[in-house]
Structure 1
Amino acid sequence: MRNIQEFTLTDPRAVPGQAGLHRFARFRNLPDQAGRVDFLEVLHDAGPYALLKRSGKSLLKASYQQAYSADRPYDELVDATDYYLRSPDGTFTAVKPTTKSLVAAIPPVLQESLRAELKKTPVRTETDLVNAVSQLNKLAAVSK
């Protein structure tokens, strides 16, 4: 396991013309997992900033016995997806697929210009987040 640095999975259900490859790379010292090594999917890494994704599952316990409960009589496994922005200095910041979260994760020098770019197309989905990081990398290249 120590020798594996990255691997690629092919999605057999991918629609022709769309990317069916998912590249995973090894990362260490994520914000919530100091000292632990984890494989994350690399969504975008063409520039100084990289967008990474950790997919997992979370257990949602049954909640049906109190007066204002969620009326969920069974335990349920739900998707738990975490996104991380890796900055040029190698630090990781947890981000959500929102404009506010992404803008807060970058240096103040780039915040206003990225916020102006994202007013046209706000970040709401994973695809929007990938496109926003691509724009961030363009802005970072211009500001150098």
Structure 2
Amino acid sequence: MLTPDHKNPDHKNPGRESRDHKNPHAQSPGSPTSTTHKLTTRWLPGPHHPADTPLLVSETDFRLHHIKDLPRACWAGWRLSRLWPGLEGAVALLLWADPLRRRIGSVSVWRSADDLDRFVRLRAHADIVRAYRGKGTLTTRTWESIGVPGG
């Protein structure tokens, strides 16, 4: 279930596609704590239970060009999240949507970069990427964290 997130101010620094391992506290517009009128899920647990070791956090922010594509894109993400409990190395997942800004995304936490890479290559994920290529702008970042951020 999505719930509104009205707690945090809107940050103006644009997200960049990068692997930002050094600054885990940097906020991009897609961050679930950075916009004021966003809907979010609760953190969904994965099958991997973290110890006090570094984890890989991946943040995605997909801004659609047209509002008409938003419902199907959201539904595609929800369907994909059903696989979460069975994904090797998956620790936690948070989905978010900012309908007024035509944006959707996720914050996922992984045991390792190899686990994230395996997910990215998953056929169900690749099919969604292919279906929405050219329909918006995708920004991603990754960083290391001890524990689930904000979770």
Same fold? TM cut 0.5: no
Q: Which structure has the bigger radius of gyration? A: 1
Ranked by relative contact order (alpha carbons within 8 Å, sequence separation 6 or more), the top structure is: 2
Higher strand proportion, which one? 1
